[in-house]
Amino acid sequence: MKVALAQLNYTIGDFEGNASKIIAEINRLKQEDVDLVVFSELSVCGYYPHDLLEKKEFIAKADDAVAEIAKHCHGIAALVGAPRINRHERGKTLFNAALFLADGEIKSSHNKTLLPTYDIFDEYRHFEPNREFSLVEYKGEKIAVTICEDLWDEQPTANEFGKDKLYSISPMEELAKLNPDFVVNLSASPFSYNQEGWRKNVLITKAKKYGLPILYCNQVGAQTELVFDGGSVYIDATGEIVKELKYFEEDCLVLDTTALGEKELQPKVDYIEKIHDALVLGILDYFKKMGFKQATLGLSGGIDSAVTVVLAVRALGAENVRVLLMPSKYSSDHSVNDARELAENLGIRYDVVNIQSAVDQFEAALAPLFEGCSPDVTEENIQARARGIYMMAISNKFGHILLNTTNKSECAVGYGTLYGDMNGGLAVLGDVYKLDVFKLSRFMNKDGEVIPENTIVKPPSAELRPDQKDTDSLPEYEDLDTMLFNYIELNKSPKEIAALGYDEAVVRRVIRMVNTNEYKRFQAAPILRVSSKAFGFGRKMPLVARY
Residues annotated as catalytic are 41, 112, 148
Phi, psi of 215 (to 5 degrees): -105, 110
Residues 6+ positions from 303 with CB-CB distance below 8 Å: 437, 438, 441, 451, 455, 456, 460
**Cα(309)–Cα(313) distance, rounded to whole angstroms?**
6
Which element (helix H / strand E) includes 319?
Answer: none
**Cα(427)–Cα(225) distance, rounded to whole angstroms?**
9
- For residue 262, CA distances in Å to 29, 218, 242, 255 come to 21, 22, 8, 11
Q: Which amino acid is at 363?
A: E
**Cα(434)–Cα(354) distance, rounded to whole angstroms?**
27
**Cα(472)–Cα(370) distance, rounded to whole angstroms?**
25
**Secondary structure class of 350 (helix, strand, coil):** strand
User: CA nearest 537: which of 453, 431, 435, 445?
Assistant: 431
User: CA nearest 347: which of 368, 323, 318, 374?
Assistant: 318
Q: Which amino acid is at 22?
A: I
User: CA nearest 454: which of 302, 305, 313?
Assistant: 302
**Cα(359)–Cα(463) distance, rounded to whole angstroms?**
14
Secondary structure string (H, E, C) spanning 399-445: CCEEEECCCHHHHHHCCCCCCCCCCCCEECCCCCCHHHHHHHHHHHC
- For residue 545, CA distances in Å to 119, 161, 411, 520, 522 come to 20, 23, 19, 15, 14
The CA angle 256-261-265, to the nearest 5 degrees, is: 105
**Cα(149)–Cα(136) distance, rounded to whole angstroms?**
19
Report DSSP state, residue 536: S
Beta bridge partners of 217: 186
**Cα(458)–Cα(471) distance, rounded to whole angstroms?**
13
Say if strands 94-102 and 105-111 run parallel, antiparallel, or are unpaired: antiparallel
Check if the beta carbon of residue 252 is closer than 8 Å to that of residue 220: no
Secondary structure string (H, E, C) spanning 195-264: HHHHHHHHHHHHHHHHCCCEEEEECEEEECCEEEEECCEEECCCCCEEEECCECCCEEEEEECCECCCCE
**Cα(476)–Cα(221) distance, rounded to whole angstroms?**
35
**Secondary structure class of 299 (helix, strand, coil):** coil
